Amino acid sequence: MSNDEFVQVASLANLPQGRCAAVAVADREILLCHTADGVFALDNLCTHGAARLCEGKLKGNRVLCPLHGAAFDVRDGSALSRPAVRGLASYRVKVTGDAIAIAVTD
């Protein structure tokens, strides 16, 4: 079954450029990242050891895991450096005015 609806999860006012934050949607923790290239949504748990990426750091279009320092490209979730090898799931984002909405597909 596919559930394609966009759900509003945050506002731009609370997520200025250069910041990331975690939100809970449909029993999942999702990481929102606002970079110069836009707003992106990814799984919040690192594919290496499940550390919370919201406690890591956003540098440009990379998010860095606080536990072992793996880097992921926030634009598509791909793993950029060891020890992570698997990428993060990423989700579609729609920004309307101040509202950030994401589509979590099951």
Partner 1 sequence: MNQNNPAPGAARAGGATVAETLATDSREVPAPLLDQSYQFLGDDDIDCSRYISADFARKEFDRLWNRCWQWVCREEHIPDVGDNYVYQIGPYSVIVVRSSADGIRAFINSCPHRATRILGGEGTGFSNAFTCPFHGWSFSLDGCLQALPARWDFPHVSEETHSLQPVQCETWGGFVFINLDTHAGPLADYLEVLPAHFSHFPLERRRVRLHVQKTLPANWKAAQEAFMEAYHNFETHDGPNGANAQYDIFGKYVSRFIHNIGNYSAESLADYPGDKWRAPPLSENEILQMLSVFGLEHDEVPAGKTAREVAAQDLRHKLGEALGIDFSATSDTLMLDSIEYHLFPNMFFFPGITVSMVYRFRPNGEDVDSSLFDFLILEPLAEGAQHPQPPEPVCLSVEQSYTEAEGLGWLGPVYDEDTGNLALQQQGFKTARKPGITLGNYQESRIRRVHMTLDEFLEEAGNE
Q: For residues 34, 38, 42 and 45, what is the CA-based torsion angle, rounded to 10 degrees? A: -20
Cα 27 to Cα 59: distance, rounded to the nearest angstrom: 27
Q: Is 87 in the site for ligand FES (CB under 6 A)?
A: no
Distance separating alpha carbons of residues 21 and 104, to the nearest angstrom = 17
> Pick from partner 1, ligand FES, none: which does 82 bind, CB < 5 to 8 A by kind?
partner 1
* C-beta of residue 80 within 8 angstroms of C-beta of residue 72: yes
* Residue whose CB is less far from ligand FES, 70 or 93: 70
The H or E element that residue 38 is part of is strand 38-43
Contact 44, 29 (CB under 8 A): yes
Please state the closest distance from residue 42 (CB atom) to ligand FES, in A. 13
The region of 20-28, 52-60, 86-94, 96-104 touching partner 1 under the rule CB under 8 A is 52-60
Binding residues for ligand FES restricted to 41-70, rule: CB under 6 A: 46, 48-49, 51, 65, 67-68, 70
Give the one entry of ligand FES, partner 1, none that residue 46 binds, where binding means its C-beta sits below a cut-off of 5 to 8 angstroms depending on kind: ligand FES
Residues engaged in binding partner 1 (CB under 8 A): 48, 55-57, 59-60, 64-69, 71, 81-83
